Structure 1
Amino acid sequence: MGFLDITNVTKSYGNVEVLHKVDVEVQEGEFLVLVGPSGCGKSTLLNMIAGLEDITSGDISINGRVVSGVHPSKRNIAMVFQSYALYPNMTVGQNMTFGLEMHGVPKPEREKALADVSKLLQIEQLLDRKPGQLSGGQRQRVAMGRALVRDPDVFLFDEPLSNLDAKLRVDMRTEIKKLHEQLKTTVVYVTHDQIEALTLSTRIAVMNGGYIQQLGTPREIYDTPANIFVATFMGSPAMNIVPAKIKVDNGVVFAELTDAEGQPKLLRTVQSNLAAWDGREILLGIRPEAITDPDGADRKSTHLERLDNRITVTEPAGSDTFVTMTLGGRDVIGRMRADADAAAGQMFEFAINMEKAVAFDPQTEDRIRPD
């Protein structure tokens, strides 16, 4: 049993079921990120934890207490919204302590909580200002502070950084990560940004169409995606998905695919159970960083395959250069060093780390798991 248990939870609007038997256990101190495209059900699930949406069936419990049907104010949760939801006529300090005042917390306790949290968030100098006098990043800190003074069982974040510019989003992401590592609080965080999900979380629930597609650590989600949706949604650039045919030669399993000229190329695989797919089509998934030049390849890998192919596009991106080639009739992106000697139109020797390759069933789109 977890600290926050979501058990067989569904949500329907009329005859339309939008969340389908969701089961998640969140341990105390864990940072769970719900990530997925718009309309996948992640905000609906968060609102059900908060009590802002009714549960159609199933149960949610927090710290051993079933809260299904319990009013939001009685759940001992705190929520940080995308819109900040600050009272414009109140000062920062009043905004942060208003909830405590409404719950009858004595003034000395409110003032101590305010002092502690404002120091933690480094906003002591803002306490007498009104929200209209603050920047977007400052408002977000105040919204977080209002949640922190409550000392709740669970913190809920609903896309809190989506209104910030790119640089401030990165800065606030770091601040939230540091806060969690300091306070060891239990967090459920909703975002559509997979970089936020990978950097902030201890575990990720990838959602699509009202279903949890995969629940796991950031490393599990990234390295061993459960299906093609997870593989292509998580990671930037996305995982390359290439049609290939399995060929077995003297007990060695190869993935055969075509190069830019349509010529067959063989890449030795490391997944022995693919021998059962001899002569059958698969979809081969390879992350861009597993496709590089020989000098930039992972020295620890024991399965680097060399592949000569023509470059179609190069995209310098500061610390990296992204190189596009054609494999299996599809554009495939490799991530090279900034100084890699690669140019559009030239033949190039690629090094492909097959230890990082993942095989998918083209019919079900599920990962073909090793034995």
Structure 2
Amino acid sequence: MGFLDINNVTKSYGAVEVLHKVDISVEEGEFLVLVGPSGCGKSTLLNMIAGLEGISSGEIKIKDRVMNGVHPSRRNIAMVFQSYALYPNMTVGQNITFGLEMHGTPKPERDKAMADVAKLLQIENLLTRKPGQLSGGQRQRVAMGRALVRNPDVFLFDEPLSNLDAKLRVDMRTEIKKLHQKLGTTIVYVTHDQIEAMTLSTRIAVMYNGYVQQLGTPKEIYDNPANLFVATFMGSPAMNVLTVRLEDRNGALHALTTGADGQERALRIDNASAAYAAYKGREVILGIRPEAITDPEGADRNARNIQALTNTVGVTEPAGADTFVTMTLAGKDCIARMRADADVRSGQPFDFAVNMDKAVLFDPKTEDRIA
């Protein structure tokens, strides 16, 4: 039993079920991120936790108290919206303490809470300004301050950084993470940005079509995706996915594909599981992250199975600390991630190093990972 329990929860609009039997247990102090593309159900689930949407079946519990039918004002949650939702006619200080005032908190307590939160968020110099005089990042801090001042059981964030520019998003991401580490609060955070999900969370729930596709730590989600959707949604650049054929060569299982020249390339799979062996002679989908394909000097020294693969370089893209290299495998583009000073040139043959320890296989029909 967790601090926040979502038990077998569904949501329907008429005959259409948009959330399907969601089960998530969040421990106290956890930072859970709900991530997925638009329309996957993540904001609907957040609104159900907040009490802004009703539950069709199942139950939501906070601190072992069933929240079904409980008014949002009585749930002791605080929500930070994408739009900031600040009152334009009030000062920053008034915006922060408005909720406390509505709950009848005495003014000395309100003032102390406001001062503490303003110091924490470094907005003491903004307390007398109106929202119209603030930048986007400052408004977001005020919206966070309004949530923090109430000391709720659970913080809910609904895509709070999506209105900010790229640099400010990175800065605010860091501030939110620092805040969580300092306060140890329980947070449920919605985003469609998988980088935000990876960097902020203690656990991630990847959602698609109203289902939780996978629930796990960022490392579990990234290294061992449950299915092809999770594999390709999480990670930037996305995981390379190639249709290969599994064959036995000299007593070892190999993934057979073709290079830019159309000729066969074989990648050995060491210590193949019984599940892998069951697909011998069949086509499967091989997934491998760009950073697992590099130059021999940049290959992971701790890897046990680095396979050499000679192929023609397609496009090179210098990106500061990295160089992204595109080549053709199995008739489609495959991206490798190399060091900035890797000596690789378009149109030339190159000896790629493929870390097959990091390869995962998927069933082409179910798209589930082969364990």
Question: How far apart are 1:330 and its partner, in Å?
Answer: 1.2
Residues 253 and 272, structure 1, Cα contact 8 Å, conserved in 2: no
What letter is aligned with 1:266? A
- Counterpart in the other structure of 1:200: 200
Q: Kindly indicate whether residue 179 of structure 2 is the aligned counterpart of residue 166 of structure 1.
A: no
- Provide, for residues 284-314 of structure 1, a one-character-per-residue CA deviation record: whole Å limited to 9, x for no partner: 0000000000001111101100000001111
- Provide, for residues 181-205 of structure 1, a one-character-per-residue CA deviation record: whole Å limited to 9, x for no partner: 0000000000000000000000000
- Counterpart in the other structure of 1:333: 335
- Counterpart in the other structure of 2:293: 291
Q: Kindly indicate whether residue 141 of structure 2 is the aligned counterpart of residue 141 of structure 1.
A: yes
- Provide, for residues 90-135 of structure 1, a one-character-per-residue CA deviation record: whole Å limited to 9, x for no partner: 0000000000010111111111111111000000000000000000
- Counterpart in the other structure of 2:348: 346
Q: Kindly indicate whether residue 118 of structure 2 is the aligned counterpart of residue 118 of structure 1.
A: yes
Query: Which deviates the most, 254-263 or 192-201?
Result: 254-263
- Provide, for residues 201-248 of structure 1, a one-character-per-residue CA deviation record: whole Å limited to 9, x for no partner: 000000000000000000000000000000000000000001111111
What letter is aligned with 1:114? M
Q: CA RMSD in A?
A: 0.7
- Aligned pairs for 1:225-264 (under 5 A) are 225-264=225-264
What letter is aligned with 1:357? A
- Aligned pairs for 1:59-74 (under 5 A) are 59-74=59-74
SS at match of 1:321: strand
Distance in 1 (CA, whole Å) between partners of 2:319 and 2:122 is: 34
- Provide, for residues 127-158 of structure 1, a one-character-per-residue CA deviation record: whole Å limited to 9, x for no partner: 00000000000000000000000000000000
What letter is aligned with 1:208? Y
Distance in 2 (CA, whole Å) between partners of 1:355 and 1:306 is: 13
What letter is aligned with 2:166? A
What letter is aligned with 2:285? L
Query: Which deviates the most, 146-155 or 337-346?
Result: 337-346
Q: Which runs of 5+ in 1 are unaligned?
A: none
Q: Kindly indicate whether residue 21 of structure 2 is the aligned counterpart of residue 21 of structure 1.
A: yes
Question: How far apart are 1:250 and its partner, in Å?
Answer: 3.8
What letter is aligned with 1:335? R
- Counterpart in the other structure of 1:316: 318
Could you list the runs of 4 or more consecutive aligned residues of structure 1 that deviate by over 6 angstroms after TM superposition? Answer: none
Work out the percentage of aligned pairs sharing the same amino acid.
76
What letter is aligned with 1:340? A
> TM-score scaled by structure 2?
0.99
What letter is aligned with 2:188? V
- Counterpart in the other structure of 1:84: 84
What letter is aligned with 2:103? H
What letter is aligned with 1:167? K
Distance in 1 (CA, whole Å) between partners of 2:87 and 2:258 is: 61
Distance in 2 (CA, whole Å) between partners of 1:329 and 1:225 is: 24
Q: Which runs of 5+ in 2 are unaligned?
A: none
- Counterpart in the other structure of 1:34: 34
What letter is aligned with 1:336? M
